[in-house]
Amino acid sequence: MRLERYEGVREALASTPCDVYPDVDAIAEAHPEVTLDALVSVYAQEASRKIRGNHGRHARNVAAHARRYAEGEDIFRVAADADFPACQMMRLLLEHLLGVSHKAVGGILREPYSRIPATPEIGTVAAKYGATLMRRLRADVERVAAWDHQASPVVDTLRHGAGKEYEDLLEELLRAEGIPFVTERDLRADGHARTPDIKLEVPIAVRGRIVNWIDSKASFSDPIVHVEKGLEQFQGYVNRFGPGMVIYWHGVVDELNNDPNVLLVDAFPPSSEITKLRMI
């Protein structure tokens, strides 16, 4: 995808409020060459950046958010007015109202009825509101976990699962091509740290480029993703193993493919583009 096209897609998705699903059909109609997977991936990345960018402001204003909620306003209304995902808002409210740590909130989101006490502890902000607030918190934690499409534990689980599925797919495709390799698990068992997903036992050439290793990314590679999460990581692989290839399964901004040692692709290359090298 050309950078100009990506910027148009990103702008359309980034303007969507947190509590609204983007009109993917309309965006796809305006950009017919962009796949659904790419649209979903770009949306998820923009949502994540928006959360990180706004988290500090909402953390500083948590007392006001908590007061509205504790006095009876619906959690989704409080979150929508702040344009902040309901699960993220609930995390802040739990820390503030119950006086628990950020780490403890993760367990509460998974098991609200066993982790949130029936009555608030003395000295907490929640103590002012009593058992009624605790019952609401239990029910509302379940609600936000079920309905927040940006930041719920379910969404995190799905993203992790997608990453594993694409890693498994890469291994299957390499086996089908008869290309010997070792996995990240194998490399770490041998004492290596910060390794690519795949280290080829014998290098291959793809589109005339030597490939010693392959990394699998279940995402779209835009300039921010590539700089924040890619450049340093991939350069480490190049320094250790030589040139390699990264598969961003949901797409790549074309202009990023400018490193002679790291080939960026959006799919496993067909057999016609692979040259298998033989060790002499």
pLDDT (0 to 100) of residue 279 = 61
Say if residue 277's pLDDT is above 80: no
Q: What is the rounded CA–CA span in Å between residue 234 and residue 248?
A: 13
d(CA 158, CA 32): 26
Same domain, 34 and 168: no
pLDDT at 230: 80
Structure confidence at residue 225 (pLDDT): 84
| Domain finish residue from 94, 128, 152 | 152
Sign for the pseudo-dihedral over CA of 147, 149, 155, 161: positive
* Domain termination site, one of 122, 152, 182: 152
For residue 234, pLDDT over 60 is answered with yes
**How large is the average pLDDT for residues 33-55?**
92
Q: Residue 72: is its pLDDT beyond 70?
A: yes
148 and 160 belong to one structural domain: no
Q: What is the mean pLDDT of residues 121-127?
A: 95
Q: Are residues 96 and 170 in the same domain?
A: no
Q: Which band of pLDDT confidence, cut at 50, 70 and 90, is reported for residue 69?
A: very high
Alpha-carbon distance 265 to 254, whole Å? 9
pTM: 0.86
For the cut 80, the answer to whether the pLDDT of residue 252 exceeds it is yes
pLDDT exceeds 60 at position 280? no
On average, the pLDDT of the chain sits at: 93
CA dist., res. 177 & res. 24, Å (int): 36
**For the ranges 137-141, 162-166, 188-192, which has the lowest average pLDDT?**
188-192
pLDDT at 159: 84
Same domain, yes or no, for 192 and 229? yes
**What is the Cβ-side half-sphere exposure of residue 17, based on CA atoms within 13 angstroms?**
10
The answer to whether residues 147 and 167 belong to one domain is no
- Residue 133 binned pLDDT confidence (cut-offs 50, 70, 90): very high
**Looking at residue 192, what is its pLDDT?**
78
- Residue 151 pLDDT > 80, yes or no? yes
Pair 145, 13 in one domain: yes
Are residues 204 and 125 part of one domain?
no
Q: Domain check: are 126 and 183 in the same one?
A: no
- Asked whether residue 89 falls in the same domain as residue 19, the answer is yes
The residues with which 213 forms a beta bridge, in sequence order, are: 199
119 and 59 fall within a common domain: yes
Residues 45 and 77 occupy one common structural domain: yes
At residue 263 the predicted structure's pLDDT band, cuts being 50, 70 and 90, is very high
Helix (H, G, I), strand (E, B) or coil at 201: strand
Tell me which residue range forms the domain holding 111: 3-152
pLDDT at position 239:
94
Count up the domains in the chain and report the number: 2
Asked whether residue 145 falls in the same domain as residue 36, the answer is yes
Last residue of a domain, one of 98, 123, 152: 152
- Mean pLDDT, range 201-229, rounded to an integer: 92
* Section 258-279 average pLDDT: 91
205 vs 230: CA distance, rounded Å: 21
Predicted local confidence at residue 160, as pLDDT: 84
Distance between CA atoms of residues 235 and 139, nearest Å: 47
